[in-house]
Structure 1
Amino acid sequence: MLRLVTLIESTGSLTLAAAQLGLAQSNASRSLGRWERQLGFRLVERSPRGSVLSEKGKLLAAWALPVLDGVDEFHRAVTSLTIEAGSQLVVGASQTVAEFLAPGWLGTYHADHPEVSVQLRAANSADTLTAVRESRVDIGFIESPVDVPDLSTRGVVTDQLRVIVAPTHPWARRSRGISVAELAAEPLVMREAGSGTRIAFEQAMATADVKDVASPALEVSSNAAVVGSVVAGVGPAVLSEFVIAHPVRSQSVVIVDVVGLTITRTIRAVWAPALSPPSRDFLRTALRASRLPRPGQPSRLR
């Protein structure tokens, strides 16, 4: 519960906080309500616009942070007693995670655990799940929203998919954005089947009750190839904010809003059957990194 409260403070949202802990929003809300009744005061002020911490909730969150940091440090210290020099850790990651998130996690992890040899294996989300199930990797990180009841999971960081076009594309001049129907009718540059990005897009369109989506203008197996194809004028694309941050800043591509459609997803860690000490430490590294503010978030760039 302490972690949930601190995440509500940092994210400004009960839904996002629950997602980062791998919890359903309804379960998190019920648990929080029970704790509030036990404490005798409200931790969260709820309104139609969302959830924010009460004044007492903010105090509790401030007091909780050093406690949680101490708990994390204790676990790291105990775990270090069980990790021998020469230990190995094999991490599987979807393309987006491998390209834009894992390098930072790996740098921090190596600094804290130089005795562990780490391998990073990049694939799409579907192949990463298969690698976890077949024990070819110790822990995996995926973007796809598919259910994995046979595996343990933990939300790590939230992501949003955005539509991008070349600056010369007609949509680039649409200050009010485009409709869902226009997006569905336009042939897009897409990642391959099985990628988390494509699965998230297809599920979002299905949720929006879109029955007919145009066939892709082009299918490619890397984020860089998608961006390059958009810049070359092949067509629009739907990609992670992590992927498009630099192209947007360099004005190589333009973000186009879609009226009535927001595609968000939770990047999750997955493992089976239980985390090894190195895997557990690596997951903690990723979770700590996700609590930090991301400077220059691409959603703020236009």
Structure 2
Amino acid sequence: MSSMEEHGSDHRPAPGSLAHRVPDLGALELLLAVARLGSLGAAAREVGVSQPAASSRIRSMERQLGVALVDRSPRGSRLTDAGALVTDWARRVVEAAEAFDAGAQALRDRRDSRLRVAASMTIAEYLLPGWLLALRAERPDTAVSLLAGNSTSVAERLLADEADLGFVEGLTVPSGLDSVVIAHDQLIVVTAPAHPWARRRKPLAAAELAATPLILREEGSGTRQVLETALGGLARPLIELSSTTAVKAAAVSNAGPAVLSELAVREELAMRRLVSVPVEGAALARDLRAVWRTGHRPAGPARELLALTRG
């Protein structure tokens, strides 16, 4: 492959294509300005180019079309008969382009008027509120809807085009989605202060944690997926609950030990309503990810929210 091919020569219009035969919009706008103002210099100033650049563009357009368009003289610039005809056609082309631009802007405005976000529980409860407040400061007219669920349901909503941007906590990204890591998190074992594990002097072994019935999130939760992978399996759940808040409340009531995001239990640990139990032999760190449908890179408010998460 030649160096020219490597640098994208295939993006140039083919010799037989319409783009090769028809002048670009900038050249047509310049010709319209010459017709209206009667001066190449005045037309150049109106479209924001130098007079030599304007002359060069007119000459290039004349070569492309194969006819003379403008007669130049010390008294100004006058369209030739062919130039007057081309100008009438150019006006229709420019008007059509303006209509195209207005339609595209309407589509962007409609897209930017709403944002559908799907997020797994921990991110929805402890990180998204701050991000959405920051987005509202930048885009007060954008209506945001938030759908909270487990990581599996987030992926399902994105693939069904029910959300524009998602956030998950699991180890893997489902097929059909692209992702980027936006933060890191640590899972920790917690119990109520009255639980026997709260008085342990040695770290809890990973095998003992795996063999102990725990208060767990439901199947499909990113937290549960990370924990099960780190331990190589789990005992039958002591209780299975569908939200981080419910798991935390059960642990605080001393129903049993739980494994939760460090983000979710900071306040409870500070107030001694929960106690952190050290664990050895298990990697409980995880990545938090933004996800979206493959081939649908976030745009508009979704792109701005993504930027805020990484700021």
- Normalised by the shorter chain, which TM-score bucket? 0.5 to 0.7
Tell me if structure 2 keeps the 8 A contact 1:89–1:118: yes
Of residues 272, 281, 297, the one that matches 2:304 is 281
Q: Deviation of residue 84 (structure 1)?
A: 3.1
Q: Distance in 1 between matches of 2:228 and 2:207?
A: 14
Q: Normalising by structure 1, what TM-score?
A: 0.65
Give the one of 177, 181, 188 matched to 1:151. 177
User: What's the CA shift string for 1:156-208, capped at 9, x where partnerless?
Assistant: 100010000110111111132211121112110000111111111111112xx
CA contact (8 A) 1:82 1:277 kept: no
Distance (Å, rounded) in 1 between the aligned partners of 2:274 and 2:173? 33
1:168 aligns with 2:189: no
Match of 1:180 in 2: 206
Structure scoring higher RCO (CA < 8 A, sep ≥ 6) equals 1
Q: Per-residue deviation at 1:81?
A: 12
With over 3 angstroms needed to count, the CA separation of the structure-2 counterparts of 1:81 and 1:114, relative to structure 1, is farther
Instruction: Tell me which stretches of 4 or more aligned residues in structure 1 moved more than 4 Å.
Output: 80-83
Cα deviation for residue 258 of structure 1 reads 0.7
Q: Is the 8 A contact 2:207 2:231 kept in 1?
A: no
**Deviation for aligned residue 1:232:** 1.5
Q: What's the Cα RMSD here?
A: 1.9
The percentage of aligned residue pairs carrying the same residue is 39
TM-score (normalised: structure 2) = 0.63
Specify the SS of the correspondent of 1:187.
coil
> Which structure has the greater CA radius of gyration?
2
**CA distance in 2: counterparts of 1:235 and 1:249, whole angstroms:** 19
SS in 2 for 1:203: helix
Secondary structure of 1:225's match?
helix
Q: What is the aligned length?
A: 204
Identify unmatched segments of 5+ residues in structure 1. 1-79, 289-302
Partners of 2:114 and 2:235 lie apart in 1 by 45
Q: Secondary structure of 1:156's partner?
A: strand
Alpha-carbon offset, residue 262 of structure 1: 2.8
Is 1:214 paired with 2:232? Answer: no
Q: Does structure 2 retain, via aligned residues, the 8 Å contact 1:200–1:265?
A: yes
**Matched letter for residue 89 of structure 1:** L
Instruction: Give the aligned partner of residue 24 of structure 1.
Output: none
Matched, 1:128 2:154: yes
Gap regions ≥5 residues in structure 2: 1-104
* Distance in 2, Cα, partners of 1:257 & 1:81: 55
Residue 162 of structure 2 aligns with an amino acid whose one-letter code is R
Tell me the distance in 2 between the aligned counterparts of 1:281 and 1:230. Answer: 37
Aligned residue runs from structure 1 range 1-302, under 5 A: 84=109, 87-206=113-232, 213-272=234-293, 273-274=295-296, 275-288=298-311
Rounded Cα–Cα distance in structure 1 between residues aligned with 2:172 and 2:240: 21
Contact 2:173–2:179 at 8 Å: present in 1 too?
no
How far does the alpha carbon of each residue in 1:3-42 deviate from its partner, in whole angstroms, 9 at most, with x for none? xxxxxxxxxxxxxxxxxxxxxxxxxxxxxxxxxxxxxxxx
Equivalent position amino acid for 1:266 in 2: D
Match of 2:34 in 1: none
Deviations for 1:106-150, whole angstroms, at most 9, x for unmatched residues? 000000111211111111110000000101000000001123342
